[in-house]
Each structure stands twice: as C-alpha cells, then as structure tokens.
Amino acid sequence: MTDITAPATASQPVLCVQHLGKTFGEHTVLKDIDFTVNKGDVICIIGPSGSGKSTLLRCVNLFERPTSGKIVFCGDDNACQNPRLLRQRVGMVFQNFNLFNNLNVLHNCTLGPRKVLKMGKTEAETLAKKYLAAVGMDSYLNAKPKQLSGGQKQRVAIARALCMGPQVLLFDEPTSALDPEMVGEVLSVMSDLAQQGLTMLVVTHEMNFARNVANRVIFMDDGVIVEQGTPQQIFDAPQQQRTKDFLSRS
Amino acid sequence: MIAILQEYIVDILIGVGYTMLVAVIGTVVGLAIGVLIGVYRTLPCPRNKAAKFFKRAGDWVLGAYVEIFRGTPMMVQAMVIYWGFALLNNGQTLNVTFSGLFIVSINTGAYMAEIVRGGIISVDRGQTEGAHALGLSHTQTMFNVVLPQALRNILPSVSNEFVINIKDTSVLNVIGFTELFFVAKDIVTQTYQTFRTYLLVAIVYFILTFGISMLLRLCERKMDGKQNFKLLGSQNLDAQSYALEAQND
Ligand SMILES: Nc1ncnc2c1ncn2[C@@H]1O[C@H](COP(=O)(O)OP(=O)(O)OP(=O)(O)O)[C@@H](O)[C@H]1O
Ligand SMILES: [Mg+2]
C-alpha cells in the first residue's frame, strides 16, 4: 500500500474507517479497510465488480453491520452508535435512485427534513426548492418519479440527499443505471458539488470523473485496498500490478 | 317479480341496508386489522433476546389466527361464536347485529392480513433503503413510504374482498341476521314464490356487487392521480430544454 498523500489544505478528518472487516456467513467481503475522509475530500473508489465497493459504502452508513473494526464519525460520538443519527450526517445516493414512488419531486425532498429534522412545511419546501434549483430540477416539483428520465431521477435523488445537510455524501455508482446520454448531466452536477466543497465518497466506473474531480482515488480488489493516492499517482503511475491490470482493462 | 318487489320493497331495502352495512364495516375493520397485523409481521426482528421472544410469540399467535379463520367456513364460525357466547353466558345470546359485524370483520381481517403482508413485501426494498438513508425510522418509513404504495397495490384485492363480503354475508342468516338473503327466505314463506323471489334477490345482489366494483375501479384511477404534470417556470431557457427532454422520453 502506498502512502496517503495529504491534501494541500490543513486536513480536518470527518469520517474514519478503522480496520473495517465484513463477512457474510463464510464469505469474507472486506478485510482490514482503513482510511480517513477529510473535510472537502472527493474520494473515488474504483475496482472490479464484486470487489466489495458497495459493501464498503453500506458499512459506512451502517446499512451493514461491520464484522470487525469500526466507523468513527468525527466530532460526534453518539452518531457512531446510532445508525439513524449517523445517516442524518452521511447521505447516500443510490445506483437505482430509490426515489419514493408515491411522492412527487418536492415531497421526495421535504420528507427527510420534515420527519427527521422536524422542520416546518414552508421552511422545508424553501430548502427543497433551493437544492432542486441547484440540480436544475426546480421546474418539476409536481412530477412523480415515474414521469422522469433516469438522469432527472438521479438529480432529484442528489437534491433529496442535500436537503438533509449531510457532512459527507456517499454515491454508489450513481451513473451506472443511466443511458449514456444522461450520464453527463449527473456527473456535471456532482462536479459542481465537489467544487462547492462538499465531502464526497464516490464508487464509480467513470474514470474521467475520478481523474478530473477526485483529490484521492482508492483502488479496491478482492475486499482490500490495493492502492490509494492522487488521481495522477493511480492513473499515471500505478505501483501495484493489480492496479495496472485493472486500468488497462477499463 | 314486479309484484313481489312492489309488495316487499321496504323489507328488501332493509335487507340491502344490513347487507351493505356488514359488508362495508366488515371490509373496513378487516382492512384495519390486516394493516395492523401486516405491519407487525413485517417488523424487523429485534436483537434483544426478550424482545425477540415476544415478537416470535406474537407472530405465532397472529399466524394461528390467520390460518384458523381462513381455514374454516364463515357460516361455521358464526355458529361457533354466537352459540359459544350463549353457552358461556347461561343462554344469554349476543346482539345479532353486533355478532354479524364482529364475525365478518375478524374473518375478513384474516384474509386482509395476508393481502397486506404481500403488499408490503412487494414494495421494492430500495424504497425502504432510500428512506433509511435519510435517517427515517422503521415506523416513519412504513407510514410515509411503504404503506401508501402497498395499499395502492392491494386495492384490487381489497375490492375483491368487499365484493365477496357482500355475497358472503348471506351466511349470517344462520344466526338470524336480517340481511338480504334472510329477507328473501322470509318473503318465500309468505308468498311461496320461490323461484321469482330468489331470482329477484340474485339481481339485487348483482347490482350491488357490480356497482361497487365499478365504483372502486373509479377510486383506483383517482388514486393514481394525473398522468401528466405541470412544468413550472418554463419561461426560463434551461427549463425549456429539460421540457423537451421530458417529451422525448
Ligand atoms: N447481503 C449479502 N450477502 C452475502 N453476500 C453478499 C451480500 N452483499 C454482497 N455480497 C457479496 O459481497 C461481494 C462484494 O459485493 P459488492 O456488491 O460490495 O461488490 P461491488 O464492488 O460493489 O461490485 P459491483 O461493481 O458489481 O457493484 C460479492 O461477492 C457479493 O456476492
Ligand atoms: Mg456495487
């Protein structure tokens, strides 16, 4: 494993993944995963199918209970014990959007703030409209998810996550379920967010996004972190044979 | 037949009234029972040992309720409950209307429990995960996201139960409940017009069930809402291009 290169700015840790291990029955999916997410980081996780990338993200917001090791959410000890508290601070954007089919775009975005943050109706709606405008979906407030294209759904899903004011946002292959012509609109929203300083942990197969937007890239294979570093280090000068093989294939 | 209708119109309307009363209340209360049981049975298994035991015990009791009431004829249940109550209370029988409502409700509840559970299970897991990812609790997720979708999906089955109830309340005549079939029997004893009376009653039953089916179908369509939506602020160029994109889909 190569050294972690510290970001240029003074690093302020937000989330620490410490010696994380996960097994499903006999099957070990993650082994001794150890890394720190600093404020403002955009970390891309790449790796072959089945290497445990989704499982890692699901452990980070406690959808899966780690078998060993732990997730430390810095600055709030309670949050690490309580999944619901943690998830208010660590948002998630899914491959299949998971928008609520029974609610329109606006109410998809206001449900979390109203029920979880106990925000008032008008306040929540103002907030939702602000983030929907940021992702270019503010003219679709009344649409139901099934009336939207894939790219539009994913942009709404991103706005929905932003409404909770997360300190870290996790993305699990946010563009993998999209038709090629819609990938761009979602990636450009994500680049904007990165530029605004949102801390993001992104599992992706979009190598250009990883190269241009991330400040750190983690390559995983077979449940371990094989190599991590800046995009230049990983893409231009990979140290490990497995990384080279993977990059030459994709 | 017209003559029978003219002479006994009041009795027939009373019969229709009772039949619909039991069918409506039985279906609504049955659905409520079904929702409660369905929600309970789909609760995640608790980690705590004692809580786990109680959850399991509850599952078992509710499972037994469902199987017993689905596995025996409602006519028999009516007799057992009505006369069982009388036996335990020295011959004092239960109010017939109350008995009828009670029996149809708990019988429907047993069917609804399975229908609701199926409806809950059929809602995509992603919906629950999406809600949990925002920090919603299991209960909040259930009532705001899962149940509304489950109920919409099971509406055809609920309508079906309702129609079955309209017809099946006829078995309540065994405890002397004055629903439509009971009225028909009564008319026959006075007129001896067996065929005409029952044909008339059959037509009345059909009008009820068919009418209700149509009404509920309309409700389903209402619940689905509009097929289109209004694009807001389409003055703006950006929104216009998005609108085009939506049309092309
Ligand atoms: N709930 C589960 N039970 C058992 N095994 C699981 C479970 N979830 C994931 N796995 C296994 O864990 C391994 C890693 O899965 P994971 O979904 O994390 O891979 P991934 O890196 O996200 O792959 P992809 O790029 O295809 O999404 C796989 O072999 C999978 O079969
Ligand atoms: Mg995955």
User: Which comes out higher in pLDDT, residue B225 or B241?
Assistant: B225
pTM of the model: 0.87
Q: Express each pLDDT in A65-119 by its tens digit.
A: 999 998 888 867 776 778 999 999 999 999 999 999 999 999 999 999 999 999 9
> Residue B47 has what pLDDT?
86
Stretch B57-84: mean pLDDT: 95
Pick from B131, B229, B242: CB nearest A147? B229
Q: Express each pLDDT in A114-127 by its tens digit.
A: 999 999 999 999 99
Strand partners, A37: A15
What spacing in Å lies between the alpha carbon of A56 and ligand 1's midpoint?
9
Pick from B126, B127, B134: CB nearest A87? B134
Q: Residue type for B47, please? A: R
CA distance A102 to B170: 38
Ligand 1 atom with least separation from CA of A173: 27
Is A138 within 8 Å of chain B by CB?
yes
Q: Superfamily assignment of B2-248 in CATH? A: MetI-like (1.10.3720.10)
Stretch B145-158: mean pLDDT: 94
Question: Could you tell me how many helices (H) and strands (E) chain A has, helices first?
Answer: 10, 9
CA distance A208 to A231: 10
B243 Cβ contact list (under 8 Å, min separation 6) = A139, B231, B234
Ramachandran bin of A222, using left for φ above 0, alpha for ψ from -120 to 50, beta for the remaining angles: left
CB neighbour burial string for B43-64, b if at least 16 within 10 angstroms, e if fewer: eeeeeeeeeeeebeeeeeebee
Q: Express each pLDDT in A14-55 by its tens digit.
A: 999 999 999 999 999 999 999 999 999 999 999 999 999 999
Pick from A100, A116, A142: CB nearest B130? A100
> Residue A10 has what pLDDT?
62
Is the CB of residue A2 less than 8 Å from the CB of residue A239? Answer: yes
Is B242 within 8 Å of chain A by CB?
yes
Shortest-distance ligand to the CA of residue A58: 1
Contacts of B133 in chain A (CB under 8 A): 61, 63, 87, 91-92, 94, 98, 161
CA atoms within 13 A on the CB side of A102: 21
- Chain A residue nearest residue B147, CA to CA: A102
* CB atoms inside a 10 Å sphere around CB A171: 26
